[in-house]
């Protein structure tokens, strides 16, 4: 176990360096710099000396591989630099954006997992019945419905036409004059539509996953044995089949972890939700290099950790899997 972890972490660090190197090179080669983006504003006028001064301050005067080494050195020491645009530390920016993203991702993940298990089990156990086929068709259609299309449809229908939910944003204009209970309610009210948009897709995917695994398990010999020795169908389902479908499900849970923090660029963009995804989109258009790098780093670290966790979980849940001897 220990040697497996050490090896995986070593590979992970190398992967991380490669990823950040690639992204750093790409964003430094985008047309325009943060300074030229500022200059598009006709009110901003810089002298030549000022531009040179700013370039030196932002590290833009160095070739990008050198600037990357500089960035990496600071990042290893926990310093992700300062946002050009917001004039505050990148760590600060990320922490500020983390709260809103978690407000969407935590409920959405919980809802998806909580609902997908019973739905998937129902569909798997009643395969071929009329209800199951209707349920599976609906789930399949939801799985194929792009989240940004759904978000626009919901905005059109529930926010513009019926005006039941706010169109976008995280709080009302009158938010500051509300009591704290009202403020919580206000957040939830704003979070409702984005949470739905983030949930339904993974709900459909997860329940299809549970169903497929259950069907695979139901074909195994030990299920036939359990039936043959006269166990009740309920007992066969829950004691023998269901527990074994949890093994691949645990891996799935592990792999969904990055979405907890990463947020959805598109959904946050549509609902103007001030989370990590929207920040990433804005910082790419504003050429705010340190913020792009900071968020990329967070995403990649989360992805690597979740892959590692999925493997470890798998070994913990399934005693047949041994991590050490390959």
Partner 1 sequence: MTEPQITELKSIPKSPSFWKEAWRQFRQRKLAMLSLGFVLFLSIVALFAPAISGSKPIVCEYKGTIYFPMLSYYSPRFEATFLNENFFGNYYDNLKENDPDSWAIWPLHFGDPNRPIDPNEWPDYPRTPQSSAPNSINWFGTDSRATDVFSQMVHGTRTALLVGFVSMGIASVIGITMGGLAGYFGGWTDSLISRLIEVVMCIPTLVLILALIAVINERTIWHMMAVIGATGWTGIARLTRAEFLKLKTMDFVSAARVLGVGHIRIMFKYLLPNALAPVLVPITFGIAAAILIESALSFLGFGPANSPSWGKLLNSGRQNLEDWWLILFPGFAIFLTVLAYNLIGEGLQEATDPRLRDGGSME
The Cα 212–Cα 138 span in angstroms is: 16
Query: How many CA atoms lie within 13 Å of 109's alpha carbon, on the beta-carbon side?
Result: 19
State whether the Cα torsion 286-290-291-296 is positive or negative. positive
Contact call for residue 144 and partner 1 (CB under 8 A): yes
- Please, which contacts does 218-221 make with residues 24 or more away whose CB atoms are closer than 8 Å? 218/124, 220/244
80 contacts: CB under 8 Å, gap ≥ 6: 74, 89, 90, 91, 94, 290, 293, 294, 297
Considering only residues 158, 231, 253, 284, which one is a binding residue for partner 1 as defined by CB under 8 A? 284
SS3 percent helix, strand, coil of the chain, rounded to 5, is 75, 0, 25
Residues 16 and 22: beta-carbon distance below 8 Å? no
Would you give the binding string for partner 1 spanning residues 213-252, x where CB under 8 A is met?
--x--xx---------------------------------
Contact call for residue 66 and partner 1 (CB under 8 A): no
User: Smallest gap, in angstroms, from Cβ of residue 294 to partner 1?
Assistant: 12
Of residues 11 and 321, the one with the C-beta less far from partner 1: 11
Which residues lie across from 89 on neighbouring strands? 82
User: Smallest gap, in angstroms, from Cβ of residue 170 to partner 1?
Assistant: 18
The Cα 232–Cα 209 span in angstroms is: 25
Binding residue count for partner 1, defined by CB under 8 A:
46
Of 221, 265, 264, which Cα lies nearest the Cα of 240? 221
Residue 51: CB atoms within 10 A of its CB come to 16
- Of 292-311, binders to partner 1 (CB under 8 A) are 292, 295-296, 299-300, 303-304, 307
Region binding partner 1 by CB under 8 A among candidate stretches 35-43, 139-147, 178-186, 308-316 = 139-147
Of residues 172 and 215, the one with the C-beta less far from partner 1: 215
Considering only residues 23, 93, 121, 237, which one is a binding residue for partner 1 as defined by CB under 8 A? 23
The Cα 137–Cα 57 span in angstroms is: 57
- Of 171-200, binders to partner 1 (CB under 8 A) are none
Contact call for residue 4 and partner 1 (CB under 8 A): no
The helix/strand/coil state of 126 is: coil
Of residues 144 and 325, the one with the C-beta less far from partner 1: 144
User: Smallest gap, in angstroms, from Cβ of residue 135 to partner 1?
Assistant: 15
User: Smallest gap, in angstroms, from Cβ of residue 19 to partner 1?
Assistant: 5
Q: List contacts with partner 1 (CB under 8 A).
A: 11, 15, 18-19, 22-23, 26-27, 29-31, 127-128, 140-141, 143-146, 148-149, 152-153, 155-156, 160, 167, 215, 218-219, 262, 265-266, 269-270, 280-281, 284, 292, 295-296, 299-300, 303-304, 307
């Amino acid at each position: 176990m220990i040697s497996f972890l050490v090896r995986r972490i070593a590979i992970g660090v190398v992967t991380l360096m490669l990823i950040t190197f690639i992204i750093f090179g790409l964003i430094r080669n985008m047309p325009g710099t943060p300074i030229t983006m500022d200059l598009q504003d006709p009110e901003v006028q810089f002298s030549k000396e000022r531009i040179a001064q700013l370039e030196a301050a932002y590290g833009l005067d160095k070739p990008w591989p050198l600037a990357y080494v500089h960035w990496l050195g600071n990042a290893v020491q926990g310093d992700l630099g300062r946002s050009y645009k917001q004039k505050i530390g990148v760590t600060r920016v990320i922490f500020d954006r983390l709260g809103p993203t978690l407000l969407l991702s935590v409920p959405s993940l919980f809802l998806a997992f909580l609902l997908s298990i019973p739905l998937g089990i129902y569909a798997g156990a009643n395969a071929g019945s009329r209800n199951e086929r209707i349920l599976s068709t609906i789930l399949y259609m939801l799985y194929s419905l792009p989240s940004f299309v759904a978000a626009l449809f919901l905005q059109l229908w529930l926010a513009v036409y019926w005006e039941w939910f706010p169109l976008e944003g995280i709080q009302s204009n009158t938010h500051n004059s509300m009591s704290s209970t009202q403020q919580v309610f206000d957040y939830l009210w704003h979070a409702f539509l984005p949470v739905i948009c983030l949930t339904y897709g993974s709900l459909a995917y997860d329940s299809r996953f549970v169903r497929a695994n259950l069907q695979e398990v139901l074909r195994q010999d030990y299920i036939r044995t359990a039936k043959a020795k006269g166990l009740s169908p309920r007992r066969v389902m829950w004691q023998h089949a269901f527990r074994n479908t949890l093994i691949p499900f645990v891996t799935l849970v592990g792999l969904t972890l990055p979405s907890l923090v990463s947020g959805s660029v598109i959904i946050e963009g549509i609902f103007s939700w001030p989370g990590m995804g929207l920040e990433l989109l804005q910082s790419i258009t504003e050429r705010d290099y340190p913020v792009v790098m900071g968020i990329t780093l967070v995403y990649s670290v989360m992805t690597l950790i979740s892959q590692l966790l999925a493997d470890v979980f798998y070994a913990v849940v399934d005693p047949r899997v041994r991590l050490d001897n390959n």
